[in-house]
Amino acid sequence: MARVTVEDCVEKVDNRFNLVLLAAHRARAISSGASILLDRDNDKNPVVALREIAEDKLPPESLTESLIASLQRVDERTEAEEEAETLALLADPQHQQMSESELIRALQSDRDGGQEERY
């Protein structure tokens, strides 16, 4: 088995930094149980990931989409649920005595899950 080189992979992914991100993402997927698309040949997961990229077993576009999807946070609350929570907050007698800035801060804190930015 010939060693995989960065030059082999840079032909497929032109930016070395993107190559590292994609190969690391693929290596983590392999570690998590994803099927390997070529013979392992006693190689570790990062080398297998680079070999898959170099041998066009995985198109870089699909790896990029997979990486982006893994980093995205999905907010499952709908607009209607958020509006209902806001109306419930406004209807609370304790909040009716608040100033506008305090109310906005309370709404933002509720939206952010109670985590306020503290620097």
* Predicted TM-score (pTM) of this structure: 0.59
CATH number of 6-71: 3.90.940.10
Average pLDDT across the chain, whole number: 82
Give the C-alpha separation, 85 to 66, whole Å.
Answer: 33
pLDDT digit string (tens) for 91-105?
A: 777 766 777 788 778
Count other C-beta atoms under 10 Å from residue 48's C-beta.
Answer: 22
Report the half-sphere exposure of 39 (CA within 13 A, side-chain side).
4
From first to last of its 119 residues, the chain has per-residue pLDDT tens of 557 778 888 888 889 999 999 999 999 999 999 999 998 888 899 999 999 999 989 888 889 999 998 888 766 777 788 788 778 777 777 766 777 788 778 777 766 665 555 44
Instruction: Provide CATH 3.90.940.10 ranges for the chain.
Output: 6-71
Cβ atoms of 30 and 49 within 8 Å: the answer is: yes
